[in-house]
Amino acid sequence: MEYSPLALTASTKPHLVLVRHGETEWSSTGRHTGLTDIPLTPLGEEQARGAGSIIADYDFGLVVSSPLSRALHTAALAGHPEATPMPELVEWDYGGFEGLTTPEIRERTGDEWVVWQGVPSGETPGEDLDAVHARARKALDALLPTLEAGRDVLVFSHSHFLRVLASVWLGTPDAGSRLFLGTGSVSALGREHGTPVVAAWNIAPRA
């Protein structure tokens, strides 16, 4: 794989740089992986190292990670073993849909379910979108002082949570459903003339 450095314009600094963890066995087969701690595959480890090459030129004022091992391992392989675990950065809690693919969930629900519609609230409850939004807002509140001091921040986390985090940053609650993220990808949020923007999205190594 080839790795191109992340090129971000100075007009959108400082940047909140987001890295989705590398591939796991469950992510490779489309299984919803919330709080289950699944390790990276060999390809996932290669993707993590690739993400590290993409962001190697950046000096971050703060590096944080989901406490789940697939995110922390990605951080370490990407050259940031110092990443501080932040509980708010864990993936969406899928409740009774944990470990299932979307087609399997749709067979159970009998409709065209997608995660943005919410998760079970019965015997095995999970989080609804409002709950994930609240976690993302709390995480951003903790990261803002570093950004406001003019320093870039690096976050290692998970697909659905990072998409929600981006939507909270943009102030558009439904944007996450339209922001695809591949495993091992690098994205960046910033501001242009004070307006929150997406500075880069889903940057991944080229095979």
DSSP element (H, E) containing 142: helix 129-148
Instruction: Pick the catalytic residue from 23, 88, 91, 127.
Output: 91
59, 88 contact by CB (below 8 A): no
Instruction: Pick the catalytic residue from 21, 32, 80, 158.
Output: 21
DSSP state of 24: B
Geometric angle at alpha carbon 112, from 68 and 198, rounded to 5°:
50
126 φ, ψ (degrees, to nearest 5) = -125, -160
Residue 9 has which token pair? 């314009």
Based on the residue annotation, tell me whether 148 is a catalytic residue of this protein.
no
Based on the residue annotation, tell me whether 21 is a catalytic residue of this protein.
yes
Q: Give catalytic residue positions.
A: 21, 91
